[in-house]
Amino acid sequence: MDFTPLFRKVSEASRSLLTLDGDIINKALSILAENLIAGSASIINENEKDLERMEREDPRWDRLLLTPERIGSIAEEIRSVALMKDPAGRLLSEIKRPNGLLISRKTVPFGVIGVIFEARPNVVIDVFALCLKSRNGCILKGGSDARDSNRILVNIIISALEKAGMDFNVVALLPPGRSETSQMLKARDYIDLIIPRGSRGLIDWVRENSSIPVIETGAGIC
């Protein structure tokens, strides 16, 4: 399947974030936090489907597990992001040249950020909240181990965006699979930055195969 139309939609939608009032972004984040708490039972039900496919002894099992307490912590983190100052459009420095030319340095969004991660469904919410607050669109690519959890979390995000009156195309979730990842890493016309989160093997593979700039977060505890 060709995901170019999906990439294009996110790229086009991300431009709407540039002029969006910060209060609307914070409203969407607040709604998302409320939706997560209200939808805890449904989230846990989908999460159990993922857990059933994994051996309990697998070290990834606990990373995959979502509980009411963990969902509550994720919601609190979203509220914390909403309280942060708008990171975009900040004036960092300004100088006036002898000829009268005024040169300023400001923070601007990247545009669209593609994030590749493994069996941690909380990353879906973490990444989206930070991308939205910084006015970036995001394309998420999670591992197959968390496919049901990731899917319901993105649906809850989309619902929050719609309730806030925003374009829900600022976020997209790719199906799990190597071919989808390969398309993502070559979509340089629509994606501006790639961030891999996971093992050293994942990070190395992304760096070696991406035609888009990559930020390495580091492997393991960092």
Per-residue pLDDT of the chain (222 residues; tens, 9 = 90+): 899 999 999 999 999 999 999 999 999 999 999 999 999 999 999 999 999 999 999 988 999 999 999 999 999 999 999 999 999 989 999 999 999 999 999 999 999 999 999 888 999 999 999 999 999 999 999 989 999 999 999 999 999 999 999 999 999 999 988 889 999 999 999 999 999 988 888 899 999 999 999 998 766 555
Q: Which residues pair with 174 in a beta bridge?
A: 141
For residue 178, what pLDDT is reported?
Answer: 85
As a whole number of angstroms, the longest Cα–Cα distance in the chain is 69
Question: Do residues 196 and 212 lie in contact, with contact meaning Cβ atoms separated by under 8 Å?
Answer: no
pTM for the structure as a whole: 0.91
**Which among 139, 129, 192 has a CA at the least distance from the CA of 161?**
129
**Burial of residue 207, with CB atoms counted within 10 A of its CB: 0-12 exposed, 13-18 middle, 19 or more buried:** middle
For residue 219, what pLDDT is reported?
Answer: 60
